[in-house]
Amino acid sequence: IGLLLWNGFTSPTEQTSIDPEASARWHAAAALQGNLDALAVFGGCLRTGTGVGKCKNIALGLRCIDYSASVGNPSGVNKKGVMMESNDDYFGAMRLYRECYEDESKRTNALLLFNFGYCLIHGDGVDNDVEEGENIWKDAVALAPEEGSEEAAWFLYQQYSERGDMEKARHYLDIAADLGLEDAVMERRDNS
């Protein structure tokens, strides 16, 4: 429920708007029950102040994210890795991403897989390896509709378009558009 309220959702019978405060409350409740994904997300809310009003607490938010990452939770690893990237520590981020990815039971976070694949393709913190990065993006797409799968599909569309493989490009464009990525929706409409 927390993620649905974070992103807003639409069904054939109803539409729910984005509600960061309700999302933060649901994530906090789930974190208190031991859900490490929720702990990482709530840590992000505390760190940035999103949905928590005057309760913004950067240090506590960072500790929540760090704990979640330290026990190998993919959501925590992803949040910590992105923070490391934002501080130009690509090598540290890549180490975290790779350690998490090497444990097949933790390949459950499409956004982490997207970020890991991006670093591999672009050589951020590692020698670039386009083939491995694209394969990891395909793993992320396979987790659809998880957050990050739509970005992986969009970037695969771009990769295949640049190489002129329009059949594969169209396949990934359709996935990204079907998952609601606005750029992909517009691109598909323009290409129809």
Q: Quick one: pLDDT at residue 1?
A: 45
Q: Please tell me the pTM assigned to this model.
A: 0.82
- Residue 33 has what pLDDT? 94
Q: Give CA–CA dist 86/10, Å, rounded.
A: 32
Question: Do residues 97 and 119 lie in contact, with contact meaning Cβ atoms separated by under 8 Å?
Answer: yes
Q: Residue 14 — φ and ψ, nearest 5°?
A: -155, 160
User: What pLDDT does residue 13 have?
Assistant: 61
State how far the Cα of 31 lies from the Cα of 87, in Å rounded to an integer. Answer: 27
pLDDT value for 116: 95
141-165: burial string, b at 16+ Cβ within 10 Å, e else: bebbebbbbbbbbbbbbbbbbeeee
Q: Is 50 exposed, middle or buried (0-12, 13-18, 19+ CB in 10 A)?
A: middle
C-alpha to C-alpha distance for 79 and 166, rounded to whole angstroms: 34
| Segment 145-181, tens digit of pLDDT | 888 999 999 999 999 999 999 999 999 999 999 998 8
Distance of CA 49 to the CA centre of its chain: 19
Cβ-contact 119, 93 below 8 angstroms = yes
Q: Mean pLDDT score of the chain, rounded to an integer?
A: 89
Q: What is the pLDDT of residue 8?
A: 54
Q: Kindly report, residue by residue over 92-137, the tens digit of the pLDDT.
A: 999 999 999 998 888 889 999 999 999 999 999 999 999 999 999 9
Contact 107, 113 (CB under 8 A): yes
State pLDDT tens for residues 33-44. 999 989 998 999
**Residues facing 16 on adjacent strands:** 9
